[in-house]
Amino acid sequence: MTLPEPRKDIRTLSVEELEEALTSHQEKKFRAQQVNQWLWEKGCTSFDEMSNLPVSTRQFLTCQFTFHTAAPEIQQESRDGTVKTGFRLHDQSLIEGVLIPSGNRFTACISSQAGCQLGCAFCATGKLGFTRNLTAGEIFDQVIFLSRLAGTRKKPENTPGHPLSNIVFMGMGEPFLNYDAVQQAIGKITSKTSLGLSPQRITVSSIGIPEMIRRMAGDDPGYHFALSLHAANDKKRNALIPFNLHHPLATLIEALKYYHQRCGKRITIEYILFAGINDTPTDAADLASFCRNFPVKINLIEYNPVEETGFSGSDDPTIRHFITLLEKRNLVVNLRRSKGRDIQAACGQLSAERKLKIDH
């Protein structure tokens, strides 16, 4: 006895593939556009909601396809208003997305993978190991949910427009190791017929995979690129980010120069300050020297303690001195104080802990 084929996730189909599936079942070609609108403009995750389709078409779709969704399941809210949501995937994996308020602005921090294989020494996600890449649909679901959540909290009289001010790919996983799905999801998020968010409001953050930086440069996607650098000499970076062992800074610099030449964009450098590890005057000089290769903006980030990593964050006087040393070298530096620390929702802390259930 042969088992029936598992139903395919409908959001992995292109419009052309949808057309083919529908017309081969004697459905009208324009139905594909209608289905596409339900999927990517209305964020629909059930065939029953597709109310402008005949019942027979919905029945056909239900028999042939399914939805692999990222369903919100658990939630925690920080004292500072940051909300962390755990999303359950169809294979029971759990990922996290975070909504970060700042006044009446909201930033959504999105995951691109379940777990991560890169094992950076300071990162809670790295400790989980890797389960799998997310689909574009699962990435899109996080954005839709957090956008709706922001809509319920925003005071509309102050800032009309989209509930989300920004989207950052800084959640679980390395976005450039799931490049195609991330690109596809961003295409949907920015499409005028979907969420219509400007690519200028999206930042993709990566530890810097040279081959993928070159590919992104070729695609010139319009979003911002942020490099998680954290150390600007190979010995120290090898200890923090094992990927650097096989892809040293010289290779990374060449890829970033290429990106800048192709796209003309300034690169955001993210640098977490770890006490006694990468916060000395020599480290500041190394960082300044790295930054001379292309126009940059530096975001210094406070470290959020993660159990069992053994790292601690630099103290305030050290941070201030580090900033002064960079500014003396004419570099633009911002200090990012972390939000959501108390619920492990801050940078490097996402590890899909089970906490509070959402009532649907």
One character per residue 172-201, x = contact with ligand SF4 (rule: CB under 6 A): xxx---------------------------
Q: Which of 86, 126, 221, 313 binds ligand SF4 (CB under 6 A)?
A: 126
Shortest approach of ligand SF4 to residue 240 CB, angstroms? 9
Catalytic residue among 19, 27, 96, 174: 96
Q: At what angle do helices 210-219 and 179-190 cross, to 10 degrees?
A: 30
The one among 100, 123, 204, 269 contacting ligand SF4 by CB under 6 A: 123
* Sheet strands (E) in the chain: 8-9, 65-66, 71-77, 83-88, 94-102, 105-109, 113-115, 130-133, 166-169, 202-206, 224-228, 267-273, 296-302, 333-336
Please give the residues from 202 up to 261 whose contact with ligand SF4 meets the rule CB under 6 A. 207
Amino acid identity of residue 165, one-letter, is S
Given 109, 120, 123, 347, the catalytic residue: 347
Q: Which is nearer to ligand SF4, 69 or 125 (CB)?
A: 125
Backbone angles phi, psi at 226, to 5 degrees: -120, 135
Q: Is 347 a catalytic residue?
A: yes
Regarding 313 and contact with ligand SF4 (CB under 6 A), the answer is no
Only segment of 12-20, 69-77, 168-176, 317-325 that touches ligand SF4 (CB under 6 A): 168-176
**Got the DSSP string for 284-311?**
HHHHHHHHTTS-EEEEEEE----TTS--
Going by C-beta distance under 8 Å and a sequence separation of 6 or more, which residues neighbour residue 178?
Answer: 112, 113, 133, 134
The rounded distance, in Å, linking the Cα atoms of 22 and 16 is 10
Torsion region of 220: left, alpha or beta (phi above 0 gives left; psi -120 to 50 gives alpha)? left
**Nearest approach, Cβ of residue 70 and ligand SF4 (Å):** 17
**Please, what is the minimum distance in Å from the beta carbon of residue 207 to ligand SF4?**
5
Shortest separation between residue 96's beta carbon and ligand SF4, angstroms: 11
Reply yes or no on whether 263 is catalytic: no
- The smaller minimum CB distance to ligand SF4, of residues 116 and 326, is found at 116
Q: Which of 45, 76, 85, 125 binds ligand SF4 (CB under 6 A)?
A: 125
- Least gap, CB of 142 to ligand SF4 (angstroms): 15
**CA proximity to 65, closest of 133, 16, 10:** 10
* Residue 206 beta carbon to ligand SF4: minimum distance, rounded to whole angstroms: 8
Residues 337 and 331 sit within 8 Å (Cβ to Cβ):
no
Binding mask 32-71 for ligand SF4 (x = CB under 6 A): ----------------------------------------
Q: Which residues, at least 6 apart from 87, have a Cβ–Cβ distance to it below 8 Å? A: 70, 71, 72, 73, 94, 95, 96, 97, 138, 141, 142, 145
> Can you give the binding site for ligand SF4, defined by CB under 6 A?
116, 118-120, 123, 125-126, 172-174, 207
